[in-house]
Amino acid sequence: MRSTHGRIGLGVVLLVVAAILGSCATLGRAPSEVAGPRLFTFPGDWSTVPAKTITLFYPAQASWEFLMSPEHPGAEPLKTG
Protein backbone atom coordinates (compact mmCIF):
# COMPACT_ATOMS: atom_id res chain seq x y z
CA MET A 1 0.00 0.00 0.00
CA ARG A 2 1.38 3.40 -0.98
CA SER A 3 1.70 6.27 1.41
CA THR A 4 -0.22 9.51 1.01
CA HIS A 5 3.00 11.34 0.13
CA GLY A 6 3.66 8.89 -2.69
CA ARG A 7 0.22 9.47 -4.16
CA ILE A 8 0.57 13.24 -3.94
CA GLY A 9 4.02 13.06 -5.54
CA LEU A 10 2.70 10.92 -8.38
CA GLY A 11 -0.20 13.35 -8.89
CA VAL A 12 2.18 16.30 -9.05
CA VAL A 13 4.43 14.52 -11.55
CA LEU A 14 1.46 13.63 -13.77
CA LEU A 15 0.18 17.21 -13.58
CA VAL A 16 3.57 18.62 -14.59
CA VAL A 17 3.89 16.17 -17.48
CA ALA A 18 0.38 17.04 -18.68
CA ALA A 19 1.18 20.76 -18.50
CA ILE A 20 4.40 20.32 -20.47
CA LEU A 21 2.72 18.19 -23.12
CA GLY A 22 -0.15 20.66 -23.39
CA SER A 23 2.28 23.55 -23.78
CA CYS A 24 4.22 21.73 -26.48
CA ALA A 25 1.02 20.85 -28.32
CA THR A 26 -0.09 24.48 -28.46
CA LEU A 27 3.32 26.00 -29.13
CA GLY A 28 3.23 28.22 -32.18
CA ARG A 29 -0.54 28.34 -32.49
CA ALA A 30 -2.89 31.24 -31.91
CA PRO A 31 -5.24 30.96 -28.91
CA SER A 32 -8.23 30.96 -31.26
CA GLU A 33 -6.87 27.87 -32.97
CA VAL A 34 -6.41 26.09 -29.66
CA ALA A 35 -9.87 27.00 -28.33
CA GLY A 36 -11.66 24.84 -30.88
CA PRO A 37 -14.12 25.50 -33.66
CA ARG A 38 -15.78 28.87 -33.93
CA LEU A 39 -19.34 29.02 -32.67
CA PHE A 40 -20.37 31.49 -35.39
CA THR A 41 -18.83 33.35 -38.29
CA PHE A 42 -19.29 36.88 -39.54
CA PRO A 43 -20.90 37.16 -42.97
CA GLY A 44 -18.89 38.50 -45.87
CA ASP A 45 -15.27 38.45 -46.90
CA TRP A 46 -13.44 40.41 -44.21
CA SER A 47 -10.08 40.03 -45.95
CA THR A 48 -11.20 42.71 -48.44
CA VAL A 49 -11.96 45.29 -45.73
CA PRO A 50 -9.07 47.77 -45.34
CA ALA A 51 -7.40 47.95 -41.94
CA LYS A 52 -7.80 51.08 -39.85
CA THR A 53 -6.02 52.12 -36.66
CA ILE A 54 -8.14 53.87 -34.03
CA THR A 55 -7.37 55.29 -30.60
CA LEU A 56 -9.49 53.87 -27.82
CA PHE A 57 -10.50 55.55 -24.59
CA TYR A 58 -7.91 55.04 -21.88
CA PRO A 59 -9.65 54.86 -18.49
CA ALA A 60 -8.16 56.70 -15.52
CA GLN A 61 -6.25 59.15 -17.71
CA ALA A 62 -8.19 62.12 -16.32
CA SER A 63 -9.02 62.82 -12.70
CA TRP A 64 -12.59 63.18 -11.48
CA GLU A 65 -11.80 66.75 -10.48
CA PHE A 66 -10.82 67.63 -14.07
CA LEU A 67 -13.89 65.88 -15.49
CA MET A 68 -16.17 67.95 -13.27
CA SER A 69 -14.26 71.25 -13.65
CA PRO A 70 -15.31 74.08 -15.99
CA GLU A 71 -12.15 73.46 -18.07
CA HIS A 72 -13.58 70.13 -19.27
CA PRO A 73 -15.97 70.57 -22.23
CA GLY A 74 -18.20 67.71 -21.12
CA ALA A 75 -18.44 68.68 -17.45
CA GLU A 76 -21.99 70.07 -17.64
CA PRO A 77 -23.58 66.87 -18.98
CA LEU A 78 -21.70 64.92 -16.30
CA LYS A 79 -23.03 67.20 -13.57
CA THR A 80 -26.63 66.95 -14.79
CA GLY A 81 -26.39 63.16 -15.06
CA angle 19, 23, 26 (to 5 degrees): 140
pLDDT tens sequence across 18-49: 777 666 555 565 555 555 666 777 778 888 88
Torsion of CA 24, 28, 29, 35, to 10 degrees: 30
Buried b (16+ CB within 10 A) or exposed e, 23-42: eeeeeeeeeeeeeeeeeeee
Distance of CA 31 to the CA centre of its chain: 10
The structure's pTM equals 0.28
Where along the chain do its domains lie? Answer: 4-35+54-80
